[in-house]
Chain A
């Protein structure tokens, strides 16, 4: 079966917009039960059993993250980041079991308390068709600055 490139792109853009707009519940609803949301720390390829990540969320931890962000007292997101990101250079591969792997670059402008930061990186997505619609099973974000001092990464990257 040929990959429907446009559908994949639409999913990726939609996911990006939900993160930009801090739409936590809708974003959470994109994920599968075996989700992995992963932002490595220090370099791109690490073994999470032996090294720390900036984010290494399974479904449970992901839900916890969203619960906290919605609590109103997650002070590092009070006020919330204002964001817009460009997602581009999308490449798509068909994987086993009908899973689709997509690769993209992004550039994000993030503003809080008068300071605008630029984040850039590469994202690897694994999408799975569930009841005819894509779900996000895996998102790995390779930040250009994952080995640098970062003051706040509590928004959805």
Chain B
């Protein structure tokens, strides 16, 4: 059925957005096309595949991708689809392998994707050139501190341009560690919900909901603080700008910029001393101490140093990388990967994990309440007949520029939501502009035509 062109300008205003953005399957399709299958998307971290042959199944939008480290130490992103008749060639979510062999007719691929062999090759004539039938590489792959991003479009801005100011937040997230010092081997919390993917993205950067939605978490924090005679004002920190601001880093990357303890406060005393265990770690820690003071540097290493969205779907909160996967317009999956740093002691790394578990995951004291509300929103959005708008105007008249030029607001202001939607609009309406050089090559399904491995 021919689809109508959607007028996004009528759906996204500076102070409000329309329900249909969360409920219309056509908009969902176009998001996949324009946001996920064209721009830079986080795929995984090197630390998930530390050894040659280590692989993980990943997704870019709905496109199945193998992230695999080859013998040369390079991390490859390969589309998980046999070039012969289209079966997935890798069927375990994670593991270690020497090659990928398709179970159907036995076509076998090396870790760099190249076609190693096919059974009874004599049936193909000379027009068949093996080097043209390797697994399709994601056309552009780039890394920053071991964070591997892919783009299904062969052309476009660089990853550095895409990340912009958000790079500093990645630096902080890993405590200035180098790529291979970050260990992503602590398991993953996985949850799904029957609602649109953007609800998780917006919520993660929403400083207004904590006092209400997470009342029970803040309540137990306060109780614990009382028991420990601590002076931390857990609720107060969400009320004004005393401890935090909302910040728009540009490009859809936004953050809650705060510097209070949150997650590790539920851990049992005594909390271990933060002491680097390697020389490199000592350099990182000294630098962090220089920037933030010893106490805050130590606290942050124990429970996380930033709270940032890398547009469109990578969330760095506490010690976790969180990836939001759109599945359908009203179904999303979320994977949460806590990370350890190889220059922290086992005791400190364990404390990071216990702090993480306090709030996050399907049995945590905070995360499930968010998930509950995503589904309540999706249900409520059905009431779209008379008043279809969601409001994003909070704090609009008191936004201001920080010294570094980023836009900031009070902790509960919707600066972050507006930043996300501004970028969303930019990407979704990009096609309307005159420049459309890459359009032909971004259509899925990929594999219909081979990409050249020229990245």
Footprint of B on A, CB under 8 Å? Answer: 39, 41-42, 46, 48-56, 58, 60-61, 64-65, 67-68, 71, 73-76, 78, 113, 147-154, 157
Is there an interface contact between B363 and A154, defined as CB atoms closer than 8 Å? yes
Of the A-B pairs whose beta carbons lie under 8 Å apart in the complex, a sample of 28, sorted by A's number, is A41-B188, A49-B349, A50-B186, A51-B187, A52-B187, A52-B338, A52-B353, A52-B357, A53-B187, A56-B357, A58-B268, A64-B220, A64-B224, A64-B266, A64-B358, A67-B219, A68-B217, A68-B219, A73-B219, A74-B365, A75-B369, A75-B373, A76-B369, A149-B192, A149-B333, A152-B362, A153-B368, A154-B363
Is there an interface contact between B219 and A71, defined as CB atoms closer than 8 Å? yes
Q: Closest approach, in angstroms, between the C-beta of B291 and any C-beta of chain A?
A: 28
List of A residues within 8 angstroms of B167 by Cβ: none
Given A151-B362, A152-B362, are A75 and B213 also a contact pair (CB < 8 Å)? yes
Complex CA–CA separation, A149 to B340 (angstroms): 22
Complex CA–CA separation, A56 to B357 (angstroms): 8
Given A42-B187, A49-B349, A61-B266, are A154 and B368 also a contact pair (CB < 8 Å)? yes
Is there an interface contact between B189 and A60, defined as CB atoms closer than 8 Å? no
Contact for B346 among A49, A51, A56, CB less than 8 A: A49
Contact for B372 among A42, A56, A68, A76, CB less than 8 A: A76
Determine whether B162 belongs to the interface, using a CB cutoff of 8 Å to chain A.
no
List of A residues within 8 angstroms of B188 by Cβ: 41-42, 52
Q: Closest approach, in angstroms, between the C-beta of A37 and any C-beta of chain B?
A: 10
Considering only residues 312-366 of chain B, those with a C-beta below 8 Å from chain A are 333-334, 338, 340, 346, 349-350, 353-354, 356-358, 361-363, 365
List of A residues within 8 angstroms of B133 by Cβ: none
List of A residues within 8 angstroms of B216 by Cβ: 68, 71, 73-75
Number of A-B contacts (CB under 8 A): 119
Complex CA–CA separation, A126 to B333 (angstroms): 35
Complex CA–CA separation, A153 to B362 (angstroms): 5
List of A residues within 8 angstroms of B220 by Cβ: 64, 67-68, 71
Contact for B357 among A55, A150, A154, CB less than 8 A: A55
Q: Closest approach, in angstroms, between the C-beta of B376 and any C-beta of chain A?
A: 8
Chain B residue, CB-CB nearest to A56: B357
Q: What's the interface size class on B, roughly?
A: 35 or more
List of A residues within 8 angstroms of B186 by Cβ: 50-52
Complex A-B, nearest 4 residue pairs according to Cβ-Cβ distance, in ascending order: A76-B368, A149-B192, A153-B362, A153-B363
Q: Closest approach, in angstroms, between the C-beta of A68 and any C-beta of chain B?
A: 4
Chain B residue, CB-CB nearest to A42: B187
Is there an interface contact between A54 and B361, defined as CB atoms closer than 8 Å? yes
Q: Closest approach, in angstroms, between the C-beta of B325 and any C-beta of chain A?
A: 9
Q: Closest approach, in angstroms, between the C-beta of A32 and any C-beta of chain B?
A: 16
Determine whether B258 belongs to the interface, using a CB cutoff of 8 Å to chain A.
no
Chain A residue, CB-CB nearest to B215: A73
Given A75-B372, A76-B372, A151-B192, are A64 and B350 also a contact pair (CB < 8 Å)? no
Complex CA–CA separation, A90 to B194 (angstroms): 36
Complex CA–CA separation, A71 to B221 (angstroms): 13
List of A residues within 8 angstroms of B389 by Cβ: none
Complex CA–CA separation, A51 to B369 (angstroms): 23
Determine whether B111 belongs to the interface, using a CB cutoff of 8 Å to chain A.
no
Is there an interface contact between A68 and B365, defined as CB atoms closer than 8 Å? yes
Is there an interface contact between B353 and A154, defined as CB atoms closer than 8 Å? no
Complex CA–CA separation, A39 to B364 (angstroms): 12
Chain A residue, CB-CB nearest to B212: A73
Chain A residue, CB-CB nearest to B337: A52
Determine whether B384 belongs to the interface, using a CB cutoff of 8 Å to chain A.
no
Determine whether B185 belongs to the interface, using a CB cutoff of 8 Å to chain A.
yes
Chain B residue, CB-CB nearest to A54: B363
Determine whether B105 belongs to the interface, using a CB cutoff of 8 Å to chain A.
no
Determine whether B244 belongs to the interface, using a CB cutoff of 8 Å to chain A.
no
Complex CA–CA separation, A71 to B391 (angstroms): 29
Is there an interface contact between A48 and B353, defined as CB atoms closer than 8 Å? yes
List of B residues within 8 angstroms of A113 by Cβ: 375
Given A75-B213, A75-B372, are A56 and B362 also a contact pair (CB < 8 Å)? no
Is there an interface contact between A51 and B223, defined as CB atoms closer than 8 Å? no
Complex CA–CA separation, A41 to B337 (angstroms): 12
Is there an interface contact between A50 and B185, defined as CB atoms closer than 8 Å? yes
Determine whether B190 belongs to the interface, using a CB cutoff of 8 Å to chain A.
yes
Given A60-B268, A151-B193, are A50 and B223 also a contact pair (CB < 8 Å)? no
Complex CA–CA separation, A78 to B356 (angstroms): 23
List of B residues within 8 angstroms of A157 by Cβ: 363
Complex CA–CA separation, A114 to B394 (angstroms): 34
Complex CA–CA separation, A16 to B222 (angstroms): 31
Considering only residues 207-229 of chain B, those with a C-beta below 8 Å from chain A are 213, 215-217, 219-220, 223-224
Determine whether B147 belongs to the interface, using a CB cutoff of 8 Å to chain A.
no
Complex CA–CA separation, A50 to B187 (angstroms): 9
List of B residues within 8 angstroms of A48 by Cβ: 350, 353
Considering only residues 246-273 of chain B, those with a C-beta below 8 Å from chain A are 266, 268
Q: Closest approach, in angstroms, between the C-beta of B262 and any C-beta of chain A?
A: 14
Chain A residue, CB-CB nearest to B183: A50
Complex CA–CA separation, A157 to B189 (angstroms): 17
Complex CA–CA separation, A54 to B193 (angstroms): 17
Complex CA–CA separation, A149 to B327 (angstroms): 13
Complex CA–CA separation, A56 to B215 (angstroms): 22
List of A residues within 8 angstroms of B375 by Cβ: 113
